[in-house]
Structure 1
């Protein structure tokens, strides 16, 4: 009979016994395959040697994927099917109607909707964010401020390399609150202590009515995730390399900044202003076609019959009397861009642009809303990816350059 050691093992000892990296040991613990306890003094974790031996006997180390095989990303997070969007099996539209962003994040992170996740920056970080923000040029984009805030928050978090789910959730919840806190204040604090209320005060000069604030809260829920969008792929690639959560979010923000992804909302915002100022959506569309540019904010490939998120937000905006002019311009734009027998549909980017314009927010407000909301999604994808084989998301290059000279 083989005797197992009775003393608890350190994380490094477990990694050596299993032939894996320390990060993989934490992944086993997060999946419930190993149970961990804090070491005396609170530094590091310890593991039951019997459980480690049983895990070794079961051969539970995931097989390494061949570098010549395409990577298949299996996810339990988001499903787009039959023109509808689902978060962990729940209809995203219904979730947005029934719950605020904090509760929706809890659902998406596998915690349920009650009581919801507290999205607040760490105590003591606000002065550092304020000093950092004051050092930037006044015209610094809000999305650039978000990226800087993520870097600042990561540099001050000593737990950032702990990739266990409970640690990622704690750091992620604080990070989302930090991103909002880092934005310059435009209006006094709204009495409601939600993330949507705090974000409103950074984007609009006036205190919102309840219906307008509900629209923003709903938009945050609807933009939390959208399957494997390019920014989410970037985030998962970073997580595959076992980058910490702040680096994962930075990767997502980098991809989101592209004009074909997150920046579409800013382009659509300018388009709506052109329609309102000119009074002719047809002339605006004709000019875009003449210059060879696509109309930003129209159509989403996965929703051939219309983006349900946009339908939901635009429907909610009709409760706002001051939004009538912008909604009229949006409808005129869609009509002018639709060809015979080919009806166009507004995307969520166009709906967010209309929402921002109707509420006196700047053109990049839609990008900010997407970035804050999608951070919750990127972190959920990171938690999934941390449980996969490290470095699996490596593309295979096909060399097309000059061949080496023959000897």
Structure 2
């Protein structure tokens, strides 16, 4: 599969609110999910929200208070800030115990390394100055930068992100650094595991147009949930672009390369915006879905757009049950071609004979307006099958 990216002029431009009409998007994030949901729904999409993990601050944690006092009593030579929310939360927790000013003063003498622009912004907001920022926004790059400087005998304090990433820090310890860490929040299981299971099933059935990931732990949790349900192969096939009969894949979108890493390890190449930011993800995915519906056909009754769970004809969402939608999607995949009853029967898993196809086609026709000359959009070809009329 060719990697999908958000590259190219205008690829993440603002869209008309109706351009996602009929689309269904799965959102796996806990933090800032309201922004994603509001943006997609404003553009006409339906959202299935199933946080696969949740971020829990530990501001009252005794270990955090102890680590804060230790940093004040013995200031580090180097401070690595991995997340903006982590540094802000740490200072906020220190403030609750009357230690914020002493903490900032203790850290002001350290060489501060930021794991990306957002972390750098939090460093400056705290009144500190960064000496270096990782271009890749990955902890491993900060470690390499420090190793190149030499860390033997130096005190290095790392503010951990929720996924910890302790294995990335081991080279510092091995090189002789006095390594310390501070955790300000942690990832915990979701509050509604049933919602995650339903999302897994929807992915396996390819009844979503897209699914979004905003953290590596969230992506890992989704894959683990799929494995527990015995549906991991189906979920991976749905997201990696592999066709399955007439079923289109689900567009998998990650906010950046760090988030994308667990998916790539499983052979899935997600859509990634040029800028690793939530706003860029929303614009980029919206643009991609607007340009790549499951089918787009010019019919005598107007443009037909087929999505995973809905179809839109001439700007109006059609009222279609799953059976009629499945047959319409099959006919729209090859507009104008006569599709035999046996082929259409394969789109109706619970049906057993050609009569069922006739019944579902009748229901489909009842939901569709007629084309020019009052002709039905789904045409019967005697003894052969059915075809979707094209303009």
TM-score, shorter chain, exceeding 0.5: no
Between structure 1 and structure 2, the one with the greater Rg is 2
Q: What TM-score do the two structures reach when normalised by structure 1?
A: 0.24
Q: In proportion to residue count, which structure has more strand?
A: 2
Q: What TM-score do the two structures reach when normalised by structure 2?
A: 0.25
